[in-house]
Amino acid sequence: MNMQNKLLILISAAVLQTGCSEWTETKSVNSTDLNGTTRTDEYYAALREWKKTPGLPQIFVWFDNWTGISPAGENSLRGLPDSVTIASNWGGHPKYDLSPARKADMEYVRKVKGTKVVVTQFSAKVGDGVPEDPIYNIGNSSDESIVRPAIRRYAEAIHDAVTESGYDGFDWDYEPQSGGANDSYLWTNKVQRRIFVEELGYWFGRGSGRTERDGRKPATPGLLFIIDGEIGIGGRMDSDWESHYVDYFILQSYGALTESDLTLRVKGVTDDMAAHIKAGRITKEEVVGRTILTENFESFAGSGGSFPAMSTFIYDPGGVNRQIGGCGLYRSGFDYAPREKGDYNGSPEYYFLRRGITSLYKTYYERLNAAARKRGK
């Protein structure tokens, strides 16, 4: 048995035995400066390796009020539980012009904890969020000879901003019905949004750097491509999007939803992906494994909303029987110091987030071990 397999077995055993408390304990960095740690190098090496586990469900958070100044609290990525796998910069502060404190904070969690840090951007029209360029002024055109060059340059500008800032990927917040303004053509124009997904897919996700699109500089390998918002609901993803290259579909499944509600939300994503499933580009199980359910803690931090149910959710219509690809929170900072809920595993910080982490990975390893026992029969 090779060293990696041994390591993963030891890690999985530790997770089940401790209920993830070792990797959800925020106190480990609360009194530590940016350049120091209280954990061992071996601990962090194992944590980083564990986060590379193929098929591992993800813990995702939209992170705001980010200052990065303190190694603890809701304003620091370092203060998040160690088991968080993806954190996205969402909020009113700059997305790309990061302060030295934010850069240092992000570098720490990326390099030491192995946490992926991405940036969320609405990108409701061509040119949003990047320096102005006259080529972006295409209005509501559906003429591909006009649209393609503008969006191609825009997608490359996003890639350059992401890599120069040190992020691990891009999260497109796609909300054509609930958030769209009159000029949100990148959300509402079907030609523009199809091309945007194609062009982003050169730089981000599972199809990045594909050779059929030559003539451009190489894509930075390994950047995540995430779409959140109206997928499987509302404006929906179009069937002709190259959505099979997307790494994760993140559902804004807000409100205290029942298991039936969650099933319908995930079914919406498999419905959006039906053409790709039928063509054999992706399986329904893989779609579920790339789908992350999230709760809005701006509204439900006091009760947890449907987040506890998300952390144990298994999608099973038609015998699919696949654990969800992960769960997460919108505005995770609202869970940092919950009131009147007591402690979870001895600490009040991130009560529901750490409880969900434990449930998600307990479910994952129980199913993994059950499958191994079945194969051994």
- State residue 94's pLDDT score: 86
End-to-end CA distance of the chain: 21
User: Quick one: average pLDDT of 138-155?
Assistant: 98
Query: Whose CA is closest to 60, among 274, 256, 310?
Result: 310
CA 139 to CA 195: how far, in whole Å? 15
**Statement: residue 187 has pLDDT above 70:** yes
Residues in CB range of 211: below 8 A, 6 or more apart: none
pLDDT tens per residue, range 215-235: 889 999 999 999 999 999 999
What angle do helix axes 190-203 and 144-165 make, rounded to 10 degrees? 40
User: Quick one: average pLDDT of 143-153?
Assistant: 98
* Residues 136, 138, 144, 148, Cα dihedral to 10°: 0
- State residue 177's pLDDT score: 93
pLDDT tens per residue, range 283-314: 999 999 999 999 999 999 999 999 999 999 99
Domains contained in the chain, CATH given: 3-24+39-376 (3.20.20.80)
Task: Say how many CA atoms lie within 13 Å of 329 toward its Cβ.
Answer: 28
- State residue 11's pLDDT score: 53
Q: 297: which 2 tokens?
A: 């803690």
Query: pTM here?
Result: 0.91
**Statement: residue 269 has pLDDT above 80:** yes
* Position with higher pLDDT, 161 vs 15: 161
| DSSP assignments along 43-72, one per residue | HHHHHHHHTT-TTPPEEEEEE-S----SSS
* Residues 359, 259, 87, 249, Cα dihedral to 10°: 130
